[in-house]
Structure 1
Amino acid sequence: MPEGNTNNNFGLLLKEILKKRSLSMRRLSEITEIDTATISRIINGKRKVNLQHLQRFSECLEIPMAELFEAAGYPIEHAQENSDSDIYTAVEEIQDIITKANLVDDKFSIARVEQHLSNYGHYSQTEEGNKTILTSFEEKLQKVGSIGPFINELKELFEKFRHRKGTAHELVLIGGALLYFIIPVDVIPDYIFPIGYLDDAIAVQFVLNSFMKK
Structure 2
Amino acid sequence: MLEVNSDQSIGQLLRSTLDEHSLSMRKLSELTDIDTSTISRIINDKRKATLDHLEKFSSVLAIPLAKLLEADGYSVIPEKKSSSEYDATIEQLVNTSDLLSTKLSLAQVESQLADYEDYAKTTEGKQRILYEFTEKLKAAGGIGPFADQMKKLFTRFKTQKGNTRELAIIGSALLYFIVPVDVIPDYLFAVGYLDDAVAVQIASNVLVKKS
Q: Do they fold alike, i.e. is TM over 0.5? A: yes
Count of residues in Structure 1 that have an aligned counterpart in Structure 2: 148
Conserved in 2, the CA contact under 8 Å of 1:177 and 1:207?
A: yes
Among candidates 59, 65, 80, match of residue 75 of structure 1: 65
1:165-193 Cα shifts (integer Å, max 9, x gaps): 10100011001000000012111111245
1:130-185 Cα shifts (integer Å, max 9, x gaps): 11101000000100114663211111110111111101000110010000000121
CA, structure 1 residues 98+113, in 2 after alignment: closer, same or farther (shift >3 Å)? closer
Q: Helix, strand or coil for the counterpart of 2:184?
A: coil
1:45-89 Cα shifts (integer Å, max 9, x gaps): xx88xxxxxxxxxxxxxxxxxxx98x8224313267342442133
Note the aligned Cα RMSD (angstroms).
3.2
Partner of 1:38: none
1:104-119 → structure 2 map (5 Å cutoff): 106-119=102-115
Q: Work out the percentage of aligned pairs sharing the same amino acid.
A: 44
1:124 aligns with 2:120: yes
Q: Helix, strand or coil for the counterpart of 2:75?
A: helix
1:90 aligns with 2:82: no
Among candidates 179, 184, 193, match of residue 183 of structure 1: 179
- Counterpart amino acid of residue 90 in structure 2: I
Q: Helix, strand or coil for the counterpart of 1:165?
A: coil
Conserved in 1, the CA contact under 8 Å of 2:108 and 2:183?
A: yes
1:18-57 → structure 2 map (5 Å cutoff): none
1:213 aligns with 2:203: no
Conserved in 1, the CA contact under 8 Å of 2:117 and 2:168?
A: yes
TM-score (structure 2 length as normaliser): 0.59
TM-score (structure 1 length as normaliser): 0.58
1:157 aligns with 2:153: yes
Q: Where in structure 1 do 4 or more consecutive aligned residues deviate above 6 Å?
A: none
Rounded Cα–Cα distance in structure 2 between residues aligned with 1:148 and 1:110: 23
Deviation at 1:206, TM superposition (A): 1.1
CA, structure 1 residues 195+107, in 2 after alignment: closer, same or farther (shift >3 Å)? closer
- Counterpart amino acid of residue 72 in structure 1: A
Unaligned runs of 5+ in 2: 1-16, 21-30, 33-57, 78-85
